[in-house]
Structure formats: C-alpha cells, structure tokens
Amino acid sequence: MAPTAASASLNPSALPLASAYAAGEARGRRAEHGSPRAWMTGRYGAAGMSRLDPEKRISVGGPEAGTRRVLIAFVIFTALATNELLGFTDDTDEFFAWHIRAEPTAAFLGAAYASGLVLSVLALRQDRWSRIRVAMVTVTAFTVLTAIATIIHLHLFHLTSGGPPARFAAWLWLAVYFLIPAACLAVVVRQERGHRRSEAVHQPIPGWLMALLGAQGAILFLAGVVLYAGGATRHHTPKGWTAFWPLPLAPMTSLAVGAWLIAFGFAAAMALWERDLSRLFVPAVAYTVFGVLQLSVVLWYRTEVTVDGWLWAYVVLLVTIVAAGGYGWWAAQRAAAAAGSEPTEASRSRVVLSDESPG
C-alpha cells in the first residue's frame, strides 16, 4: 500500500517516505501533462508529448506525421516533374505523362514545379503548423485542380502509348493526382481541427505589401480561372479567352498553367490572412523562386513568345512577384529572429526538465 499523508500522521517515521511518494506523483503528472509553466505559456513538455500517439502530436502546433508524409510525396513528385520538364523540355513525348508540344510552356510548368519543390522541401523543415499552413493550402489547391484537369483530358495521357518512360510517367501522374488531393484535404482539415489556439502576430505585414500581395493574388487568380476555363471547355487549341497569355497553349497545358496560377493566387490570399511575416518564410521563398524562374523562361524563349502589351504586363507582374517575395523572405527571417522564433523540441525539453528539477 502506498504511504499517504494520513498514514504519516499516525506514524511519524513514514513522513519522509510519504513526501517522496507525493513528489514522485507530482513529477509523473508533470511529465505526462506538461509542467504548469509550460501550460501557462502554451508550451507542452516534450516528455509528456512522447507519451502521445505520434499521429496526434499537434497540441504544440507542430505538423502531424501524415502531413509530413504528404509533403514528402509531393517533394518526390515535383522533383521528378522538374527534372523531366526542364531537363527534357523538347522530349516530353518520350519522358513525360503527356506530350507538351510548345517548349516555352513545358519550361513554364517545369519552373512552376521547381518552385513547388522548394515550397515542399522548406515546409518539411518547419516544426510549426502555422509556418506551413500556406504551403499546404497551396499544394491542396493545385493538386485538386490538376486532378480535375486530368479527368477532363485523360485521353491525352501516355497510359497506353509512348515508350516505357512515358507510360511510367503517365501512370505515376494518375496515381499521384488521384491520391494526393484527398490526402491533402484530410491533413489540412485535421491540422486545423487540432490547431485551435490563435497565435500572436509577431510582425504584421506592412500596408504596402498587403496591397501589393492583394493585387498580385487577384491577377494570378483571375488569369488562372480564365486559362483553366479555356482549357476545360475546348479540346483543341484554346483561343479567344486565353489570347492574352504570351506562351503557346493547348487544352491540357492551359488547365495546368491555370492550376498553378490559381494556387499561387490562393497562396497570396493565405498570406494576407496570416498577417504575420514571421510565418511566411516558406511561401515567400517559393514565391521568389517562381518569379525568378518564370522571368528566366521568358528570357530564354524570347523568340518563341508573343511580344505585345500582354507580355510586358506579364513581365512587370513577375518583377513585382520577385520584389514582394524577396522582401517577404528577408523580413520573415528578421521577424522570426526578433520574435525569438518558437522553441525547438530540445528547448521544450529543457523547460520541462527545469520545471521538474527539485527545489
């Protein structure tokens, strides 16, 4: 029978043993549920978290294991797509899921997948859901839209035609875009349900950047919707609605380009919703990479693009994207450093251990 305070009052010699038992119980409760100081500051002890199901370790605001698995899958796929579209731009009939006849458009998609690769790799390195929320919503929007595009133009894919590399790419594409969208939606919903605490805004986005991101997001979203609708409603070269786009388009590429533009429009809107520069490092870097690579595509294929007012408007938009993303990149790093960032698992462990130390 465990010694208690009552038994100690009857037997004074049991008092040291009862005190030691009570202290041990208190330490056990703190190890399981987090120390009082950790709870008051909104930080849970690593020792207590280690007793939880790894799939549910979101009470400290971190990404779940399922979220990381989705990001890892997207990293692998975007790396393969980047390699095929930028390394074999003129050989998509042999190595890609479908034949992209216009090299500038293949390069655009390759550059977009490269920025998606950067987005996913950086998101994997973060330990707070709030710092990858924008990334996951962007990935979710893009994969859902691309899955719909795949269904609409499934007949264009190398599922039964082309060489082995092309067929492999087509079936891999089909598997990714039939599985990843549902997984993305599931992890976003689950993370948001578990992440109920509102976080303080450490570094508000300045007004001029809010206005710029709002304008860019609106332009990207509207342009993406027009291209997506043009590709979805035509089975030959889309014209009319999509004539403003400076790169050559086919129905499937119009949908794919539109999906990327809509996704980055969502990213800009999410950045405005977050309102905190310290949480925008990941999307800011990817946004910068997207702008720089797309400017490089225009420069590299300058003799194959339509030179008119729309092209110059597109170039101006890309320049402002690089400027906004670059500033956000720099400011997010500075804001995170100024705010002291969030504690790592090691620092959480030190907090708990210090709370549990006797005396």
Per-residue pLDDT in tens (0 to 9) along the chain, 359 residues: 555 544 444 454 544 544 544 555 445 444 444 444 343 333 333 333 333 344 343 334 688 889 999 999 999 999 999 999 999 999 999 999 999 999 999 999 999 999 999 999 999 999 889 899 999 999 999 999 999 999 999 999 999 988 899 999 999 999 999 999 999 999 999 998 876 556 777 788 999 999 999 999 999 999 999 999 988 877 666 567 788 999 999 999 999 999 999 999 999 999 999 888 888 999 999 999 999 999 999 999 998 888 889 999 999 999 999 999 999 999 988 876 766 545 444 444 444 444 444 44
Residue 305, domain member (yes or no):
yes
Residue 294, domain member (yes or no):
yes
pLDDT at residue 275, rounded to an integer: 86
Burial class (CB in 10 A: 0-12, 13-18, 19+), 249: buried
Q: Which amino acid is at 154?
A: L
What is the distance, to the nearest Å, from the Cα of residue 42 to the centroid of all Cα atoms in its chain?
A: 24
Residue 24, domain member (yes or no):
no
- 199 token code pair: 């976080």
What gap in Å lies between CA 217 and CA 269, rounded to an integer?
Answer: 6
What gap in Å lies between CA 167 and CA 163, rounded to an integer?
Answer: 6
- 12 token code pair: 């004074």
Q: How many domains does the chain have?
A: 1
Residue 330, domain member (yes or no):
yes
Count CB neighbours of 245 within 10 A.
Answer: 25
Residue 240, domain member (yes or no):
yes
Residue 46, domain member (yes or no):
no
pLDDT at residue 241, rounded to an integer: 76
pLDDT at residue 237, rounded to an integer: 60
pLDDT at residue 28, rounded to an integer: 47
Residue 273, domain member (yes or no):
yes
Domain encompassing residue 183: 59-197+204-339
Helical (H) or strand (E) element with 205: none
What gap in Å lies between CA 339 and CA 332, rounded to an integer?
Answer: 10
Residue 266, domain member (yes or no):
yes
H helix intervals, the chain: 5-10, 15-33, 36-40, 46-49, 65-87, 92-95, 103-124, 133-152, 164-194, 207-232, 251-274, 281-300, 309-338, 345-356
pLDDT at residue 235, rounded to an integer: 64
